[in-house]
Amino acid sequence: MPRLLALLPLLFPPAAAACQCAAPFPVCQRVAMSDVVFVGTVESITPRFLDYWNPAQQQSLTLLNAETERARADHSSTSLAAAKNAYAAIFPDLPEDSKKLLEGAKSREDLVKAFYRILGAGRRVRFRVKEAYRGDEDEDETLDVWTPFGDCGVDFQTGETYVVYADDDEESSVVSTDTCSGTRRLSDAGSDLAYLYFFENNGDDSGRLDGFVTTNQFHQLDALHVEAPVPGIVLELKSDSGSRFTQSGADGKFVFDGLAPGEYTVAAYAAGYPRLVKQLAAPQRVRMEQKGCAAATLLIFKPPER
């Protein structure tokens, strides 16, 4: 299409350009890998134009495209000035260095390059920190977090509360997060909150064991979904201090939180334990490090009859 609008593909990339993330990490690993972890409420998002939830974005984009196209066809200073004014009106909340970049543009090409630079910088999201788990952030203080524009960026909403996992660049002091980090709405982070509670309150005794019960001997520990899951299995976690029990869920998964460093064994029993003792998998040894993460897969060769 010869008259394809210059900027449209930038704001609405094709599905093939979707962000590619590695297999999701358990929450204990996400916490260990992140420099900053907190719960916070979004106070503002800048530039406002790049806010995913901004209803005026499409209208602003149409204006930018029209003025940029006009500047391409008409090389006069008047046309360039009109394009600059359009950019300035749509980006009133840019950092000073980005504003100077737009103001200093000498041609349509310079404007497009400046636009790319603005997109590349991403969105600055200002949070009011409610609960801090890692990093030097104080509760009830504000923190600016940057997220990419595009598929890898988190589409934060002003007024919404999130669990944020972020990196802190030592050289630039920029705190950033993306969709691969595990950042999500607090309302969607139920599985994370139990671990964060123990991480905050149990000191060194805050280890987590993630486990799977399956009939598939080739199941991978880092898989998002358990293949051939076995639900309703009673799991015993045993150490020198005693035993704890839980059951595998419909997805075959189970979790033990608040674990002290040391040696453990995990065994699987049929439903009805301890009234009916039918061991389905021999005890598996697990080593838990201080504030560590551990994983166990219990293979059931013949699932119990329902």
- pLDDT tier at 225, thresholds 50, 70, 90: low
- Give the whole-angstrom CA distance, residue 10 versus residue 207: 43
- pLDDT tier at 91, thresholds 50, 70, 90: confident
Q: Which domains does the chain have, with CATH numbers?
A: 1-201 (2.40.50.120), 204-299 (2.60.40.10)
Q: 252 with 213: CB under 8 angstroms?
A: yes
- Nearest residue to 130 (alpha-carbon basis) of 54, 196, 34: 196
Listing DSSP states for 192-238 in one string gives HHHHHHHHHHSTT--EEEEEEEES-TT--TT-SS-SSB-TT-EEEEE
What pLDDT digit, counting tens, does each position of 21-33 carry? 877 788 999 999 9
- pLDDT tier at 8, thresholds 50, 70, 90: very low
Quick one: CA torsion of 62, 65, 70, 76, rounded to 10 degrees? Answer: 120
Query: Quick one: tokens of 67?
Result: 């003025």
Q: 270 with 278: CB under 8 angstroms?
A: yes
What pLDDT digit, counting tens, does each position of 107-157 carry? 888 888 888 888 888 999 999 999 999 997 666 699 999 999 888 999 999
User: H helices of the chain, where?
Assistant: 8-11, 27-33, 57-73, 77-90, 96-103, 108-121, 190-201
**236 DSSP β-pair partners:** 245, 267
Answer yes or no: is pLDDT of 194 > 80. yes
Tell me the mean pLDDT in the region 229-256.
95
- Nearest residue to 129 (alpha-carbon basis) of 36, 215, 30: 36
- pLDDT tier at 2, thresholds 50, 70, 90: very low
Tell me the mean pLDDT in the region 273-301.
91
Answer yes or no: is pLDDT of 210 > 60. yes
Answer yes or no: is pLDDT of 230 > 90. yes
Q: 37 with 131: CB under 8 angstroms?
A: no
- Whole-number pLDDT of residue 219: 62
Tell me the mean pLDDT in the region 53-59.
82
Among the ranges given (45-49, 177-181, 254-258, 286-290), the one the predictor scored with the smallest mean pLDDT:
45-49
Q: How far is CA 257 from CA 34, 95, 210, in A?
A: 20, 44, 9
Note the Cα 217 to chain centre separation in Å: 30
